[in-house]
Each structure stands twice: as C-alpha cells, then as structure tokens.
Amino acid sequence: MEKGKQIYEGKAKRIYATGDADVVWVEYKDDATAFNGLKKGTINNKGSLNNRISAVFFEMLESKGIPTHFIKLINDREMLVKHIDIIMVEVVMRNIAAGSLAKRLGLEEGTPLSRPVLEFYYKNDELGDPLINDYHALAINIATREQMDKMAELAFKINEILVDYMDKRDIILVDFKLEFGVFKGEVILGDEISPDTCRFWDKHTKEKLDKDRFRRDLGNVEEAYEEIYKRLTATAN
C-alpha cells in the first residue's frame, strides 16, 4: 500500500489517500492545541506516542467486539485505517467530574458521578464544538436516530471496557471523547484514543497523565504520555 496525496490536515493528524478508496493513511503530528485552538504548542514525540497508544486501544477494543477503523500500524507515527464518513458529533463519556462538566454543574473536579454521563457535542470548530442533545443532532441532520443510538450503545460499552482495562494499570479513566464514522453502512469507532482525548489520573497519586498537563502548563507532558504507553504495554490483558 502506498502513501498518496494528502486529503486532509487536522490539528493533530494528516490524512493521505492510498491506492484503495476504502483505506486512508494517518500520520500523527506533534502539534498540540487546546481551548479550541487558542493555545498552540508542540509536545515532543506526541505523534508517535498517540499513534502507538491508539493502536493498543483499537486492537484491544476490536478483540472485545467493538468495530473500529483501525487496520494496522505502519510505523511509529503512522497507521492505516478504514476510510469512514465521519459523523459530525463528538461523543464524550464521563465517570468523574472534570473540565467543562465540573464548571457547568458547579462540581469540584474529582467528584465521582453516580453513573456514567454521555454527552454529545457538535463537531464544528467555528462554533467551538457546542454541547448538543439528540434533538439538535436530528434537527440539523448531522446524524440519524439509528446512528445516535448506535453511538450511545457503543460509547457505554467502550467505557466499561476501558475503565476496567485502565484500572488494571492503576489508572482512573475520568472522561474521554470518541468520534464515529460510517463504513459500508455500519457505524464504527474512528479518530484516536490517547492522552489527547482522555483524562487519565494515576489511581494512587491522582497525578494527571494526559493533555491537561499541556492545557494547564503543569510540565512533564511528554513524560506523562510515555507513562501511559508504558503502562499499556507492561501488562498483557
């Protein structure tokens, strides 16, 4: 398979065509942005770490019956994935109050939620990804009823799997964001699962091991991402 023309460049990844219309080539970048692009920077090795971390998560989720776009790793910072039509909805799952939810509901960061919270955001940079519900998504035709239901069902399943998987590695999965797409009529998981898109806290010290280190200028950002990769690969299941 060969790397063809670049078809898209996002904040964290570049996407290239391949000889196969069903397959795209993803290159993870070291660029980091936060607060809807207002804060910009570079995290050394981030592309490589997020590529490898995402591959571990995708393979593990596939093995547990979750359909994903992942095909295979090409090298440290590139992977092949199925060419999906991305659904313009960001799906956030939360187990513990943090970030925008803590703010919106007036909860102290770290407050456990009695049950997981599912949220949808309209994937639209110009609008700053506003919070929406099912009614909004259907009314502006960015997803169908069936797609919304499928994304919710998969998000809850993925949350259960990931909470358990990370707990075995002494990491609390606070919250995370997923993106889904349609491939040959089926809703499958796309994008990435990495410290850029999840909040990971060390179970014992509660140390943040994710992009909040960059957002909040906490230092040791690359080390935190490396620690996540190390813990993912140190244990087999």
Q: Which stretch binds ligand UDP (CB under 6 A): 45-53, 61-69, 171-179, 180-188?
A: 171-179
Hunting for tokens 């591959």 — which residue is that?
Answer: 55
- The answer to whether 99 contacts ligand UDP (rule: CB under 6 A) is yes
Query: What angle separates helix 46-63 from helix 221-234, to the nearest 10 degrees?
Result: 30
Smallest separation, CB 97 to ligand UDP (Å): 9
Q: Does 179 interact with ligand UDP (rule: CB under 6 A)?
A: no
In angstroms, rounded to a whole number, what is the distance separating the alpha carbons of residues 135 and 143?
10
For ligand UDP, give the closer residue by CB, 34 or 74: 34
Residues between 107 and 136 that touch ligand UDP (CB under 6 A): 129
DSSP string, 128-176: T--EE-HHHHHHTTSS-HHHHHHHHHHHHHHHHHHHHHHHTTTEEEEEE
Considering beta carbons, is residue 1 or 218 the nearer one to ligand UDP? Answer: 218
Nearest distance, CB of residue 100 and ligand UDP, angstroms: 4
Which is nearer to ligand UDP, 48 or 100 (by Cβ)? 100
Q: Name the minimum Å distance from CB 86 to ligand UDP.
A: 14
- Tell me if 192 contacts ligand UDP by CB under 6 A: no
Query: Rounded to whole angstroms, how far apart are CA atoms 26 and 16?
Result: 6
Q: How far is the CB of 211 from ligand UDP (least distance, A)?
A: 6
Q: Which residue's Cβ has the minimum distance to ligand UDP? A: 99
Quick one: which of 237, 187, 235 has its CA closest to 66?
A: 187
Residue 199 binds to ligand UDP (criterion: CB under 6 A): yes
What is the SS3 assignment for 32-100? EEECCCCEEEECCCHHHHHHHHHHHHHHHHHHCCCCECEEEEEECCEEEEECCEEEEEEEEEEEECCHH
Q: What is the 3-state secondary structure (H, E, C) of 176-209?
A: EEEEEEEECCEEEECCCCCCCCEEEEECCCCCEC
> Could you report how far apart the first and last alpha carbons of the chain are, in Å?
31
Cβ 236 to ligand UDP shortest distance, Å: 26
CB closer to ligand UDP, 3 vs 169: 169
How many residues touch ligand UDP under the rule CB under 6 A: the total is 13
| Stretch 59-98 residues interacting with ligand UDP (CB under 6 A) | 92, 98
Dist CA 115 CA 111 (whole Å): 12
Min CB(24)–ligand UDP separation in Å:
20
Tell me whether residue 118 or residue 182 sits nearer to ligand UDP (CB atom). Answer: 118
The residues that touch ligand UDP, with contacts defined as CB under 6 A, are 92, 98-101, 129, 175-177, 197-199, 211
